[in-house]
Every structure is written in C-alpha cells, then in structure tokens.
C-alpha cells in the first residue's frame, strides 16, 4: 500500500500555479509526486513506492461559480464532498454520487477514482457529471477541457479521460459539474429472498419495470438482515436481501414502491416491506459506506475488499461462486449494473496467489467480467494483482500516460503502467 514516508514532504498549494510549480520541480528532479485529497482511498492497495512527496489539494477548496438556475457548479478540486452537498442542498440540488467518507473525501479524489455509489443505476457515474476540467500534466503544464455548460466538448474529451485516471495523467485543480434537483422524497422496499434463485427471478422482473429505480442492491451476508430491521440470518445457505430505493415526487415513489412490492411477491420473496424512514436511512448509510475498507458500524474490518464487474445477468451466479470460496464473505451487488463488492474477512497473504489470482479472478472472467482489489492491508500486492493482467489496451494507455507524464512522476505504481 502507498504510505507517506515519515519525513514525506507535503506540499499544499493554494492555486493552480502552485500545483504547476510543484509538479515542474518534480519533473525536473525526476522525483515521484503523489496527489492527495481526503486520503480515504489513497493508501488502499496500490503498490507504489513509499510516497516521499505529497501534493495535498485540500487547501484549494473554493466554490468558483454556482448559478443554480443553470444546474451547474464550478469548484476547486479540494472541496470536500460534505461541503459540496451542503452548498447544493441549500438550493435543493445535488450531485448524486454517494461517497463512503463524505466528511473527508474531496471532489478531485472522487473524480480521479470515478467513484460511484449505490445510485449508479438511477443516477449514473461521476463521468456523467464532469462537464469541465482544469488540470496540470506531469511536466507542470496546465490544460483544460470542456466548460461550464453541458455539451461543450470539442476534440478529445479530457473530462472523461481524466475521470477515473487515479491522478496518473494529471492533477485536477478545478471541475465544472452538472447537478440534479434533490428528490422530493424516497422510499426503500426490501425483499427477503430465501435462495439466490429467487433473487434472480425477481431481478428479471424488475428489469421490465416501466421506470428505473435509483438503486437495486442485492445484499448477502447475515449483517444485512439486521441492518434492514430483520433478525440475524442464521440460515446455512446464502439467502439474500433485495433493497430497491425509489426517488422522486411523492406520487412517483408511491407508484414505484407498490410496483416493486408486487414484483417481489410475484417473484417468490419470503417477505417484502416498505421500510420506515429510520430503517431506510440506517440501511442506506450502510449501503453507501460498505466499500470503506475500515470497519463500518455493522461490518468488521475486511482483510480484502474486491470489486467484480459482470453482466447483470451473471450477478447471482457470481455471488454463488464467491460464497463457495468464502461462505462468510459479505456482499453488496448493484445488481442491475453488474457491480459486486465483496468484503472477505478470512483472507491471508498466502491466499493472494492461490485464491485471488488462482480462483477468484478466473471466476470473474468465466462470468464474462473482471475483478479489481479495492482495498487490502496485505503485503505483496502488485499492480497486476490489484488491477488484473496487461491487455492490448494497457500498451495504448502507457503511450497516453507517456504523453501526459513523460518522466512517470505522477502517482507511480497507482495503476497497471
């Protein structure tokens, strides 16, 4: 994992010129420099050498321009997600990206990781909201893409290229974001599925709904039942909890809640109910913070947190295989998006090659998908183990990386290069 050396030099610029100067100095000295925001995922898994030079963006935390009427906002990269949410909520607006540690995470870090939470289905990913970007490349040269208005991208779309690039192509200094209205209300309806096969039947029915819910999560593991106001699930086989969140006007939410409960019963659910607002809030905060590697209010610290991406139709089969490898692992699947996050408690260093590389990744590929390591405290992880093997695309990405960062000083080891 990337950790700062005890004597790491921490540079905290207050503007883009300061960022450029710091990177230029690293470029000329061929010295690695690591961009950080709230550090909620910085030291997760990457195998970079110990960071001796950190570029901390948290001092750049201004709202540059906000005209609620235009449904866009321009912010500096160090703005923390909680402050951004508060600024938008005051105008009944939101950036519907759910981040585990909102009080610490910065918008620059969320963009750099293209983090998406449980509302990926109904609200999309961070890439859908970044409409303008200012950044500094690995030579210390500032560049920008997109703009303040939606659909203002000519030529290569730097917004999409930098979103998800983990700070390896450039350091983001400013973002123009599209925002959405806050929903009038929301509801969460849950179904108790005695078997994964029942969950599969219900998921097939939910795909045919006339409207798209915000979230369709398939939750496996005893702790989830407790969170949803149920009793701990002591059944031997992996039963599952389906949680569907509807957001919108009162009428829309009422319609969706009734329709989903009907589909639950038709699909063979053992129990279905609309949660009380307090139970819904409790479950929601668990759904949002599930990927946080640390211990959460209901989940113990995980030895390994993985993210598997498969076609939605392969979600329940993949979960069944995951539970075969570790019947105690806890799982959250954004089922209609094919994203599965699993926390494995019983995972040791010697399991890295035997289980992770030898079994879990081939299993994901078998189901038509891929697997990345989100977080682990285990030593011995390499970029190839974390992100998966090199592909033809990796060679192309390395060429692009070289154009943006010829000396490879931006976050070395943070990705497959």
Between 72 and 411, name the residue whose CB sits nearer to ligand FAD.
411
The residues facing 273 across adjacent strands are 190
Between 164 and 194, name the residue whose CB sits nearer to ligand FAD.
164
Between 40 and 227, name the residue whose CB sits nearer to ligand FAD.
40
Cα–Cα distance between 94 and 130 in angstroms, integer? 14
Q: Nearest distance from residue 170's CB to ligand FAD, in Å?
A: 7
Site residues for ligand FAD per CB under 6 A: 34-42, 44, 57, 77, 99-101, 104-106, 108-110, 112-113, 115, 166-167, 171-172, 291-293, 374-375, 411, 414
List b or e across 258-287, with b for residues whose CB sees 16 or more CB atoms inside 10 angstroms.
Answer: ebbbebbeebbbeebbbbeeebbebbbbbb
Between 173 and 215, name the residue whose CB sits nearer to ligand FAD.
173
Is residue 199 a contact partner of residue 224, using CB atoms and an 8 Å limit? no
Q: Are strands 180-181 and 171-178 parallel, antiparallel or unpaired?
A: unpaired
Q: Nearest distance from residue 249's CB to ligand FAD, in Å?
A: 31
Quote the DSSP letter at residue 33: B
Q: How many CB atoms lie within 10 A of CB 391?
A: 11
Between 76 and 326, name the residue whose CB sits nearer to ligand FAD.
76
Nearest partner of 262 among 332, 328, 202, judged by Cα: 202
Q: Nearest distance from residue 256's CB to ligand FAD, in Å?
A: 28
Q: Nearest distance from residue 384's CB to ligand FAD, in Å?
A: 15
Between 43 and 252, name the residue whose CB sits nearer to ligand FAD.
43
Distances (CA, A) of 194 to 143, 201, 205, 333: 54, 12, 17, 17
Q: Nearest distance from residue 335's CB to ligand FAD, in Å?
A: 20
- Look at phi and psi of residue 71 and say left if phi exceeds 0, alpha if psi is from -120 to 50, else beta: left
Between 93 and 165, name the residue whose CB sits nearer to ligand FAD.
165
Q: Nearest distance from residue 293's CB to ligand FAD, in Å?
A: 4
Q: How many angstroms separate the first and last alpha carbons of the chain?
A: 16
Cα–Cα distance between 111 and 166 in angstroms, integer? 8
Q: Nearest distance from residue 239's CB to ligand FAD, in Å?
A: 27
Is residue 123 a contact partner of residue 214, using CB atoms and an 8 Å limit? yes
Between 125 and 222, name the residue whose CB sits nearer to ligand FAD.
125
Q: Nearest distance from residue 349's CB to ligand FAD, in Å?
A: 19
Is residue 36 a contact partner of residue 54, using CB atoms and an 8 Å limit? yes
**Which residues neighbour 399 within 8 Å (Cβ) at sequence distance 6 or greater?**
none
């Amino acid at each position: 994992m990337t950790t700062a050396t005890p004597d790491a030099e921490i540079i905290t610029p207050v503007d883009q010129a300061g960022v450029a100067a710091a990177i230029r100095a690293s470029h000329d000295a061929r010295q690695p420099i690591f961009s950080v925001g709230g550090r909620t995922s910085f030291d997760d898994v990457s195998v970079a050498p110990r960071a001796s030079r950190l570029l901390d963006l948290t001092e750049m935390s201004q709202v540059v321009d906000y005209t609620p009427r235009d449904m866009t906002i321009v912010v500096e990269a160090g703005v923390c997600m909680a402050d951004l949410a508060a600024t938008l909520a005051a105008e009944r607006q939101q950036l519907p990206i759910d981040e585990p540690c909102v009080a610490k995470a910065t918008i620059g870090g969320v963009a750099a990781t293209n983090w998406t939470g449980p509302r990926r289905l109904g609200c999309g990913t961070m890439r859908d909201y970044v409409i303008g970007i200012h950044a500094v490349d690995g030579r210390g040269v500032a560049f920008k893409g997109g703009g303040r208005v939606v659909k203002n991208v000519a030529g290569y779309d730097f917004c999409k290229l930098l979103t998800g690039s983990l700070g390896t192509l450039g350091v983001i200094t400013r973002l123009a974001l599209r925002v959405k209205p806050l929903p009038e209300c929301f509801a969460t309806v849950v179904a108790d599925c005695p078997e994964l096969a029942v969950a599969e039947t219900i998921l097939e029915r939910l795909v045919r709904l006339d409207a798209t819910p915000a979230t369709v999560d398939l939750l496996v593991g005893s702790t989830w039942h407790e969170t949803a106001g149920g009793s701990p699930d002591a059944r031997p086989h992996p039963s599952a909890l389906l949680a569907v969140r509807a957001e919108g006007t009162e009428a829309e939410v009422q319609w969706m809640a009734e329709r989903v409960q009907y589909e639950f019963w038709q699909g063979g659910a053992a129990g279905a109910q609309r949660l009380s607002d307090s139970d819904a809030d409790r479950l929601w905060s668990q759904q949002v913070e599930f990927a946080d590697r640390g211990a959460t209010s209901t989940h113990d610290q995980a030895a390994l947190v993985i993210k598997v991406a498969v076609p939605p139709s392969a979600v329940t089969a993949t979960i069944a295989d995951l539970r075969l490898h570790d019947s105690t692992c806890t799982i959250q699947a954004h089922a209609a998006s094919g994203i599965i996050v699993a926390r494995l408690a019983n995972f040791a260093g010697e399991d890295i090659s035997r289980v992770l590389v030898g079994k879990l990744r081939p299993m994901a590929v078998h189901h038509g998908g891929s697997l990345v390591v989100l977080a682990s405290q285990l030593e011995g992880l390499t970029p190839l183990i974390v992100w998966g093997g090199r592909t033809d695309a990796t060679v192309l990405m390395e060429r692009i990386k070289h154009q943006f960062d010829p000396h490879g000083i931006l976050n070395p080891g943070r990705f497959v290069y």
